[in-house]
Amino acid sequence: MTTTDLINPDREERGMVSSVTETQGPRRTLALTSLVHALHDGYTDMIYVLLPVWQAEFSLNYVALAVLRALYVGILAAFQIPSAHLAKRLNARTVLALGTILCATGYALVGFSGGLVGLCASLALAGAGGSTQHPLASAAVSRAYGVKARGPLGTYNFAGDLGKATLPPLLSLLLTVMHWRSTLWVAAGLGLLVAASILWLMPPVPAPPTELEIVAAPNLETPGRGGFKLLFVIGILDTAARMGFLLFLPFLLKTKGAPLTTVGLALSFVFIGGAFGKAVCGWLGVRLGLLATVLATEVGTAAAILALLVLPLGSSLILLPLLGVMLNGTSSVLYGTVPELVEPHKIERAFALFYTGILGSSALAPVLYGRVGDAVGLISAEVAPAITALAVVPLMLILSPRLKRPGVVC
């Protein structure tokens, strides 16, 4: 103990409290952003449960139902970048909470809708609120953990799958005991509780440094030139491969003699493996490096897809959980790399652009693969997602040297 400590005996205690606070702050940020990710992704997939209800309630045809889903996702994608700009004027925590309130309000208004126009307007409002979650929550985790953010971003990404796995089934259960409008008001109330938790419990997100501060920082590393553009293309290809495979999987299983119940079970295997992959691969990216992890998952995805073409039904079902790990796991590593490829003051915008590309790819890829399927047949069409996954390999080899900076494992 030093003389200063004798004069001020509570100095050491204050230092310990400060250390604990610095540790708890990032953990609290991760916990709350994971909670909001689970809620928003659950909100998005709730629409699948509600479509048959709306069809019966409002006598809607399949085109109208498709418009409802496309409208929500389209607004969700279109407002990613505006949400990032708004966070520059308000703290990201505030915008994230307001977006969650807006999303919950949109679903509450759906419960008051009397027709297609009301449904469209309410879902558009919900989609606009949901657009705040991906770019701002991802950036909050990135700023909280700094250079160690890749693993926590994998955990945050995994939480979205938990929301998809819990909220839609919960809504289905509620639909058996109450009117669909009441179930939406319950879901909206849950959203308001999450928004309140963000405002009261989540630490403020550190403001991004100004360009003047960045220029004045003598030891700041400049991200590899063009690296984010390469990562953006890799993310689009990875998403396209996943969407293309899932599009053809039910039909491929039917050719192997799988009944409808087995097809549903097979999809569950893929999704369970995918959720596990998102949780694990983000941390593997820290241990093994980005290049090794992405090459393993993309080459493994391609190999597993090609194996499914020749394996019997039983062996295919055994392989699907592992395929799900590789199919979805890459995304966690890619999300975690975004902050390493942009200047600190551009992280929110970079995440917004990245998620816009991912959402756009998930919407367009099935259409393109569907055309391929119509042209060449099912078996040949299922090869296309495998080729798409392999197309990531040369891009990763180009990207990897641009990540070799102090504190970054490649």
* Whole-number pLDDT of residue 22: 54
* Whole-number pLDDT of residue 3: 44
Residue 286 has pLDDT above 80, yes or no: no
Q: Structural domains in the chain? A: 25-203 (1.20.1250.20), 227-403 (1.20.1250.20)
How many other C-beta atoms are found inside a 10 Å radius of the C-beta of residue 370? Answer: 14
Which burial class, exposed, middle or buried, applies to 91 when counting CB atoms under 10 A from its CB (0-12, 13-18, 19+)?
middle
**More confident: 233 or 77:** 233
* Whole-number pLDDT of residue 212: 45
107: phi then psi, degrees, rounded to nearest 5? -70, -35
Nearest Cα residue to 205 out of 351, 405, 357: 351
Residue 103 has pLDDT above 70, yes or no: yes
**More confident: 17 or 235:** 235
Q: Is 397 left (phi over 0), alpha (psi -120 to 50) or beta?
A: alpha
* Whole-number pLDDT of residue 300: 94
Residue 296 has pLDDT above 70, yes or no: yes
* Whole-number pLDDT of residue 409: 37
Q: pLDDT tens digit string along 12-37?
A: 434 443 443 455 789 999 999 999 99
Mean per-residue pLDDT of the chain: 83
**More confident: 254 or 406:** 254
Q: pLDDT tens digit string along 183-218?
A: 999 999 999 999 999 999 999 887 665 554 444 444
Residue 402 has pLDDT above 80, yes or no: no
Q: What percent of the chain has pLDDT over 70?
A: 88
Q: What percent of the chain has pLDDT over 90?
A: 37
Q: pLDDT tens digit string along 153-170?
A: 878 888 888 888 788 888
pTM value is: 0.74
Q: Is 138 left (phi over 0), alpha (psi -120 to 50) or beta?
A: alpha
Residue 377 has pLDDT above 50, yes or no: yes
Residue 366 has pLDDT above 60, yes or no: yes
Name which of 32-41, 101-110, 219-228 the model is least confident about.
Answer: 219-228
What is the Rg, in whole angstroms, of the alpha carbon atoms belonging to the chain? 23
**Alpha helix locations (H) across 256-338?**
260-288, 290-310, 313-337
* Whole-number pLDDT of residue 217: 43
